[in-house]
Every structure is written in structure tokens, then in C-alpha cells.
Amino acid sequence: MCGIVGLFVKNPDQRASLGANLSRMLVGMTDRGPDSAGIAVYHDPSEAGWCKLTLFHPDETYAWRAMAGELAAALEEETDVSLKANHAVLAAEAEEGAVRAWLTAHHPEVRIMGYGTLMEVYKDKGKPASVVDKYGIAAMGGTHGIGHTRMATESAVTTEHSHPFTAASDMCLVHNGSLSNHNRLRLWLQRRGQVFESDNDTEVAARYFAHRLGEGASLREAMEAGLKDLDGFYTFAMGTRDGFAVLRDGIACKPAVLAETDDWVAMASEYRSLAGLPGVEDAKVWEPEPTVVYSWSLN
Amino acid sequence: MTEFDLAEAPIRELNSRLHKLPPDTNERAWRIVNPRGAHSIAVGLTLPIEVRIEGHVGYYCAGMNKEATVVIDGQCGWGLAENIMSGTVRVTGNASQGVAATGRGGLVVVEGDAGARCGVSMKGVDIVVAGSIGHMSAFMAQRGRLVVCCDAGDDLGDSIYEAVIYVGGKTGRLGADCIEKEMTAEHVADLRAPLERAGIEADPTKFRRFGSARKLYHFNVDHADSY
């Protein structure tokens, strides 16, 4: 069992409180996932020509600044790094693919949690309340974010196995459920150039959607294609640079509830996660229908 | 009126107080505030008391209800009135999946829509939904009436036994062994009763009736390939 949440803020005046509301929602899903938690926040856009990557190393004393200096020298570009416990947000005035290639070649011990120009991803073991505190999520503003609380049933409780999974620039996915055709789909995606970092079924779904988006599909089209190609149980919440989407499989045995006001739209596995949102008393609250793609866009 | 604030005290305290009420209790009317989506509110009631919950509730609200009248003024999560024995459970908004699953008696009213698997394995309860219901509703339903004033999702009444389904709107694909049956004056009268008890205004002559074709009741070796 897991809990998933997503919050998409429509009213620019409420974007300062994105992190505070998302934290409250994630903590509300503690009973569904006390082992580990992860969160992706879309905020703090990079300057033109810059990219940012969220990196993880289990050692909190890892020499991030030295690594950022090496990168700056290698690419002959500026870099900046800010530290949050065992995570670091690395900004570079460079093309993000080049930074990722350099990191993979020179610092394979560092895990890339997310990359792009907006999205930052934090995942860690422990209760959701301690994870959001550790990374200061509540203080973050932003446009949208998604989160996951995990109760592991099949694979180890590690940061690597925690959601959200990133598979493209500023794209991430959280999942409640399990996929049954992920092995075959992984091979299919590998033949089409996707590179995998774990044996996790949700990573397969994330890379599947990234593959479809890379082919030019819209967020909605990518998710609709998933209805045909992904076999299993799922409630997904996906974030992209300017969009947010929710999808449930046809059997719909994994829960989901949506709530929407003029100011925001929120999704969670259970209503109690939404109970603290401002104005939720007057929100439209409904259960997303199976096989229907619900999506929102900033544009 | 006894008021209980779930923002001030935990759900176990509420349920414990409700369970300890003596049969001759004077605390016959309860108002519960700030449910905030909590699970298992007012489960296992056994006395003819009235409980009104103001706000949205989580899973299994009013489960195993006997005698009591429970009204949820809000929306409701999975498993509303699961295994209800008697009494009435009403939700003014929408309910999620598995409404009145395995319910043996009593009345469950959803004034909005109900999700998938509404009335799954029902065994005598009457369910009245003013809106629509989701897929796989009345799966293996044995006894009782499922009344849907609007539409029913796919696979309605799959493997149904002797429960009766009345639908006012459209139906999707019917489940295995579920068929549409004639709607006679006797059935209009049979439908009028739960609609009136539920206080839902709908014209019973406009409904269609569905039930079991009774082809799956017994193993038939000639049909071995279709099982």
C-alpha cells in the first residue's frame, strides 16, 4: 500500500504556500506509507541557459562543492550548488544532458533524482513528517508538486526505490499499485533507447510516459497511450514542466480522490490528506473515474 | 443532542462511547463534527439512535450498522455501510466504491453518485442511489434491491443471484448471467417502496429491471468450456 498526492495551484497568489500545503497532504498519507517518502516540487525556475539537477548521496558529508567545481572546470561553465541534508541542488550554466553525462562518467556514486529547469526531487527513508522537515519542503513556493508515501511490499526500503521517478526533463511520476507487464515493457523501452536505473515497475511506467512524450505526445495523449500498454493496477499522478495529470486503470481498485476550487486542484489517495487545504470545505470533491485522463496545464 | 468533535478527540473514543450506550440510553441524537475524512466513523452501532456526521468521511463509515440511523452530510470514502444489518445510512453527497457491500438488511441512500462495486455481494439490503453507479455493481448480489435513478456502469450484476436491480437511466455492458427482465405493475410497486423510504423522487414506471438469468447456478458439464 502507498499514498500519493498532487497539488496544482491555479491562482498565482497562492503559489507561495505550495510547499506548506503539499507537506500537509503528504503527512496526511502517513498511515498509507510510513517507510519512506518522496516529493517533487516545481519552483524556482532556472535562469535562461541554466539547468538544475537534484542529486543524492547517502553520505551527508559528501564533497558536493568540490564536485561542482570539477564540473565547472570540465564544462568551462559556471555552477552553483545548494545543500539539503544528503541531497544537493546543482545548477549549471550548461545543457542538462551534458551535465548528466559528465556526472555518470565521473561520479557514478551520485544518484540523479531529477533534472530540468524547474523540478526538484527529494526522497528519503522515514516518516513523511520527518522527510518534509529535513528538506524544508514547507518553505517552498511553486506552481505544482507531487508526492508519495511508501509502504514497501516487494522491494527494499531505500531511497532508490522511493518515488517520484524521473524519466525526462522536469517530468516525474508517482504510482499506487503494481504493474504486471513491466519486464516485457522494460525490454521494449530499452530497445528504444531508454536506460533504466532500477528494477522497479514504476520506473518502467515513468520511462514509458517519457518515451511517449519524447515522440511528441501531449501529457494527455501519453497517458491515454498508457491505458493500452500498461497492464496492472495503478493510480498515477504525473507532473511535467507545465502540467499535472491523474489516471486510474479500468478496474480502479487503487483509491483516488480529486478536489478542485478556483485556486487549486488537488489529488490524493484518500480525502483525509486533503482535509487541511484552504477552502476545501467548498471544493468540488469527486472520485476520478477509471480510464479517464484528468489533466491541467499552466498554459 | 450529544455533540462529538473529532478535532478534539480520536475516533476510537467516539466509537467506544457509542458502543457503550445502554439500550435505554437518553443519548439518542448525536452530532459529529470535523470528521476530516477519518475512517471507520460510527461503525458497529446496535441501537436505534440517530447520528449525524457533518463533513466528509473516509472508509467504512457506519459499517455493520444495526438499528441506527446515520446521516453523512458530505462525501464518503470506500465501503459505506459495509455489511449493514438494519437501520438507515444516508450520504448527502457522493460515495466511493463498495457501498453496502455484503449488506444483509436496512436501507442505504446515496443522494449523489456511488462508485464501482456498489452493492457487491449484497444479501438483503436495499440501496437507493439518486445519481449513477460505477462498474461491477451488484457483483454476486444475492438478495435485496439496488435502485439506481441515473446510469449504471459496465458489468452490472455480474454473477448475480436473486437480488433485483432497477435502473432509471442507461446501462453499460451487462455482467455475466445478468439480463433485463420485464417491468410489471408488481415490480413498479416493489420499486415504489424503497424510493419512498429513501425520500427520493423518481417515477418508478420509468425504470428498467435487471436480474439473474440463472444460468450459472449449477455446474453444467455441457458448459464446461464457458466457466
Sorted by sequence, the CB contacts under 8 Å of residue B195 that are 6+ apart come out as B128, B147, B201, B202, B204
C-alpha distances (whole Å) from A16 to each of A5, A45, B86 are 18, 14, 50
Shared domain check, A287 and A173: yes
Confidence category of residue A154, pLDDT binned at 50, 70, 90: low
Q: Give which of A289, A236, A293, A246 is closest to A266, Cα–Cα.
A: A246
Residues A239, A153, single domain; the answer is yes
| Residue B197, pLDDT above cutoff 90 | yes
What integer best gives the mean pLDDT of chain A?
A: 95
Find out whether B140 and B121 touch, Cβ atoms under 8 Å: yes
**Mean pLDDT, residues A242-253 taken together:** 95
Q: Look up residue A277 and give its amino acid.
A: L
DSSP summary character for residue B196: H
- Name chain A contacts of B75, Cβ cutoff 8 Å: 271, 285-286
Concerning whether A2 is annotated as a catalytic residue, the answer is yes
Any idea what the CATH number is for the domain that residue A108 is in? 3.30.70.100
Same domain, A147 and A255: yes
Closest CA to A5 of A153, A24, A16: A24
In a domain, residue B148? The reply is yes
Domain of B137, in residue numbers: 97-221
Q: Are residues A23 and A74 both part of a single domain?
A: no
Any A CB within 8 A of B198 CB: no
Residues above pLDDT 70, as percent of chain B: 99
Which residues pair with residue A299 across a beta bridge? none
> Tell me, what's the pLDDT at A152?
80
Number of structural domains found in chain B? 2
A257 vs B: CB within 8 A: yes
Q: Does B78 touch chain A (CB under 8 A)?
A: yes
Say yes or no: A96 and A17 in one domain: no
Q: Could you tell me what percent of chain A has a pLDDT over 90?
A: 94
Domain finish residue from A117, A144, A173 = A117
Residue A174, strand partner residues: A237
CB contact under 8 A, B38 and A272: yes
Tens digits of residue pLDDT in B53-86 = 999 999 999 999 999 999 999 999 999 999 999 9
> Do residues A204 and A175 share a domain?
yes
B108 φ/ψ angles, rounded to the nearest 5 degrees: -120, 125
Q: Are A220 and A277 in contact (CB under 8 A)?
A: no
Whether B88 is in a domain gets the answer no
Phi, psi of B115 (to 5 degrees): -80, -155
B22 and B63 together in one domain: yes
Total count of domains within chain A: 2
pLDDT at A293 over 90: yes
- ipTM tops 0.85: yes
pLDDT tens for B31-60 read 999 999 999 999 999 999 999 999 999 999
Q: Which three cell numbers stand for residue B53?
A: 456526521
- What is the pLDDT at residue B218? 77
- Check whether residue A196 and residue A280 sit in a common domain: yes
C-alpha torsion angle, residues A194, A198, A202, A204 (rounded to 10): 20
Q: Do B94 and A272 touch (CB under 8 A)?
A: no
- Residue B184 resides in a domain: yes
| Contact between A255 and B96 using a beta-carbon 8 Å cutoff | yes
**Is B115 domain-assigned?**
yes
Do A222 and A138 share a structural domain? yes
The one-letter code for the residue type at B137 is: S
Closest CA relative to residue A106, chosen from A69, A59, A52: A69
Q: Any idea what the CATH number is for the domain that residue A292 is in? A: 3.60.20.10
Mean pLDDT of A46-65: 96
Interface residue A164 vs chain B (CB under 8 A):
no
Model pLDDT for residues A166-179, shown as the tens digit of each residue: 999 999 999 999 99
Q: Looking at A86, A117, A148, which one is the last position of a domain?
A: A117
Distance of CA B161 to the CA centre of its chain: 17
Q: What is the DSSP string of B78-137?
A: SSTTTT--SSEEEESS-B-S-TTTT--SSEEEESS-B-TTTTTT-EEEEEEESS-B-TTT
Do B14 and B67 belong together in one domain? Answer: yes
Closest alpha carbon within chain A to B78: A255
Q: Which of residues 18-37 of B touch A (CB under 8 A)?
A: 36-37
Rounded to a whole number of angstroms, the distance from the CA of B16 to the nearest CA of chain A is: 21
pLDDT tens for each residue of A196-245 = 988 889 999 999 999 999 999 999 999 999 999 999 999 999 999 999 99
pLDDT range class, residue A259, cuts 50, 70, 90: very high
Chain A and chain B share a number of CB contacts under 8 A equal to 48
Distance from the Cα of B33 to chain A's closest Cα (Å) equals 13
Q: Is A166 helix (H, G, I), strand (E, B) or coil?
A: strand
Hey, what amino acid is at A289? E
Q: Are residues B3 and B59 in the same domain?
A: yes
* Averaged pLDDT of chain B: 96
B67 and B111 fall within a common domain: no
A119: nearest Cα among A95, A94, A98, A143: A143
Grid cell in block for residue A62:
559528501
Domain residues for the domain of A242 are 2-44+126-297
Alpha-carbon distances of A245 from A123, A177, A270, rounded to whole Å: 21, 17, 17
Q: Which of A70, A100, A117 is the last residue of a domain?
A: A117
CA A104 – CA A110 distance, rounded (Å): 8
Q: What is the pLDDT of residues B140-188, one digit of tens each?
A: 999 999 999 999 999 999 999 999 999 999 999 999 999 999 999 999 9
What residues of chain B lie within 8 A of the CB of A286, using their CB?
Answer: 75, 94
Q: Quick one: B15 and B106 in the same domain?
A: no
CA distance A289 to chain B (A): 8
Q: Do A241 and A135 fall within a single domain?
A: yes
Question: Which residues on chain B are in Cβ contact (under 8 Å) with A274?
Answer: 37
Looking at the fold, whether B106 and B31 belong to one and the same domain comes out as no
Among the partner residues A250, A273, A287, nearest to B96 by beta-carbon distance? A287
pLDDT of residue B227: 59
Helix (H) or strand (E) segment spanning residue B181: strand B178-181
Whether B96 sits inside 8 A of A272 (CB atoms) is no
Interchain pair B94, A286: CB under 8 A: yes
Shortest Cα distance from A270 to chain B (angstroms)?
Answer: 7
| B63 and B114 housed in the same domain | no
Residue A299's pLDDT is what? 81
- Is B63 in the same domain as B113? no
- The answer on A113 and A189 residing in a single domain is no
User: B184 and B113 in one domain?
Assistant: yes
List A residues 224-253 in contact with B (Cβ-Cβ < 8 A): 250, 252
Closest approach of chain B CAs to the CA of A187, in angstroms?
Answer: 33
What per-residue confidence (pLDDT) applies to B225? 72
C-alpha cell at B135: 462498474
Average pLDDT (A56-75) is: 95
CA distances from B136 to B58, B99, B149, B153, B156 (A): 21, 12, 17, 7, 5
